[in-house]
Chains A and B, each alone.
Chain A
């Protein structure tokens, strides 16, 4: 049989290639391009190799931002995951008016644009007019997120918990819904305690969605920018300057494009690495279950 060599099929994938190139590859390559060059203006660039990367990796500023970022992410994961599970366990199980109402209420924070969330909390925490700030102030508690770094951290953490615990709740709720009634009935017959039911039935069945929840919350919180930027702008001082805020300061505030590009790439690879580790854990635990 004679085989006809016809390369026309390539044209079919061309639109996708162009789309991906413009949306992902070209912007990314621009960043890579900046990260290995320096410029003195006038659109003149010259090659500096990996100097920016070395500088960033050894810069104290980056280290501090990374430490703050890690602490922030750890705290919000430590609060949101258990809290999300707790709330999901106490939502009405049967389909009906109350469970629908709960779902809508829970999902509400997720529907609010991020900078609006920031603005809400910015106003909410103000001592002069904010409900939270003014109340605390009247109670004699020193609370001023623009000057006190503890108060700033407190505000941002509470804001993130308010904004994102819902996601964990919804995922866990979906996980819980998939558990057949027979499991609970069997547990009753076996005289299992409430803790046993959670430990041996609910938690194992939620494992999959929980890993996804942790992964999503890790990625999102590690990249957090808008809300703290609106509320504190990274302050007071550098107290709430997380990686993204620092990066934007460097790139747009100081116009240090080279270091900022190197920073971006390290940042990107870091998140990719952690996500990959998570993904591997997830796939492996699935395999274990299947065996």
Chain B
């Protein structure tokens, strides 16, 4: 087990990168703490798989260093790094039985037969495959195969880290829950550093202690699920996480007020004069529909009932522009015709300038 340090790391797939856009991964400094569970979250093509492959050694970065503890492994090959990786699609050796599959990484490292035997039995119990140990792996279902890949990942006790590259993509929804819970339990049991790449926010938020959100080759925020939800560092994080995502409204910021079409909205803090395009962000969970005319006027377009709450799709018109506002209305609250205004929960408003969050002076 080891702490993984990425120092000044960047990668480009083209040989002579000229503009920042040529980089699949922009300059990045980060330390993955030993024993923590991380999720690497971002839309397809944001560079998360590139980052993972650099950590696992399948890819050599164009610049920067990768350190395992204090050892520089930037150009060390995959097998000497002693990491395990579980891929998007189940990788099993069709010619072998489940048992042989699980034993394979140990056998190649020339460990004693008795140790291999007991270790394989342990791992089979952890992933719940003790009954099919002697079956051929080729005949199993996709999720069983993925469990084998997972098993091969955790069978070595001394790995520096276990990397997951969207491992649940091909798994049925019910099985996803089961496997995810199992993964979480395994992490608590084993204490390995785990890095889990996904584009699914539910997966990321349920699995990880810390979520690393990436967008266009850049890490935009690293934080706990709560931090990502309450204080998204970048408007991208705001609407990528949450369903529906955070509302971002262009507003003029003066002191402790945000001004949207002549309407003053109280902010939780006082802000200095901000440069660039200013916006406020507020989650649909923290907006209330109201018939109070001092609120912000809206037009409701659609109400989606998703069971224990309703999502109201609305918009506010200002200066010939229409700004979308989503509101979550809890079960039991009736939406009347007079509710043409919204009121914001003051303490939950974040202020952004050029898409990045701004800190204000807390008055309280």
A: residues with CB less than 8 A from B are 180, 182-183, 185-186, 188-193, 196, 199-201, 203-204, 288-289, 291
Contact = CB atoms under 8 A, between A and B. Distances in A.
A182 B94 contact: no
B83 A192 contact: no
Contact of B56 (A189, A199, A201, A291): A189
Interface stretch (B101-109, B196-204, B299-307): B101-109
Contacts of B139: 288-289, 291
A192 B106 CA distance: 10
Given A189-B56, A189-B79, A183 B91 contact: yes
Contact of A189 (B89, B95, B96, B105): B105
- 7 nearest A-B residue pairs (beta carbon): A182-B87, A191-B108, A186-B91, A190-B105, A200-B93, A291-B139, A188-B78
Nearest to B79: A191
A180 B94 contact: no
Contacts of A192: 104, 108
Contact of A190 (B56, B95, B152): B152
Contact of A185 (B85, B96, B152): B85
Nearest to B83: A189
A196 B77 contact: no
B58 interface: yes
A158 B58 CA distance: 41
B88 interface: yes
Interface centre among A193, A200, A291 (most CB of B within 10 A): A200
Interface centre among B56, B78, B83, B84 (most CB of A within 10 A): B78
B350 interface: no
B294 interface: no
B138 interface: yes
Contact of B108 (A193, A201, A204): A193
Contact of B79 (A188, A196, A199): A188
Contacts of B152: 186, 190
Contacts, number: 58
Contacts of A182: 87-89, 91
B235 interface: no
B215 interface: no
Contacts of B94: 200, 204, 289
15 contacts: A180-B91, A182-B89, A182-B91, A188-B58, A188-B79, A189-B85, A190-B104, A190-B108, A200-B94, A200-B96, A201-B93, A204-B94, A288-B139, A289-B94, A291-B138
A19 B143 CA distance: 51
A196 B108 contact: yes
A71 to B, nearest CB: 32
B149 interface: yes
Interface in B125-143: 138-139
Given A191-B79, A204-B95, A186 B108 contact: no
B78 A185 contact: yes
A289 B105 contact: no
A197 to B, nearest CB: 10
Nearest to B149: A186
Contacts of A186: 85, 87, 91, 149, 152
Nearest to B106: A190
B88 A189 contact: no
Contact of B105 (A191, A193, A203, A204): A191
Interface centre among B84, B105, B149, B152 (most CB of A within 10 A): B105
B193 to A, nearest CB: 15
A205 to B, nearest CB: 8
A190 B81 CA distance: 11
B89 to A, nearest CB: 6
A182 B91 CA distance: 7
B289 to A, nearest CB: 48
A201 B87 CA distance: 16
Given A190-B105, A191-B109, 16 more contacts: A185-B78, A185-B87, A186-B149, A188-B77, A189-B56, A189-B78, A189-B84, A189-B105, A190-B104, A192-B104, A193-B108, A200-B93, A203-B95, A204-B93, A204-B95, A289-B139
A28 B77 CA distance: 63
A199 to B, nearest CB: 7
Contacts of B108: 190-193, 196
Contacts of B58: 185, 188
Nearest to B108: A191
Contacts of B96: 200
Contacts of B85: 185-186, 189
A97 to B, nearest CB: 15
A146 B197 CA distance: 68
Contacts of B83: 189
A186 B155 CA distance: 14
A203 B105 CA distance: 19
A89 B108 CA distance: 23
A289 B93 CA distance: 12
A193 B107 CA distance: 11
Contacts of A204: 93-95, 138
A266 B88 CA distance: 53
Nearest to A193: B108
A208 to B, nearest CB: 12
Contacts of B138: 204, 288-289, 291
A193 to B, nearest CB: 7
Contacts of A188: 58, 77-79
Interface centre among B83, B93, B95, B104 (most CB of A within 10 A): B93
Interface centre among A180, A191, A203, A288 (most CB of B within 10 A): A191
A202 B84 CA distance: 21
Contacts of A180: 89, 91
Nearest to B93: A200
A200 B149 contact: no
A206 to B, nearest CB: 12
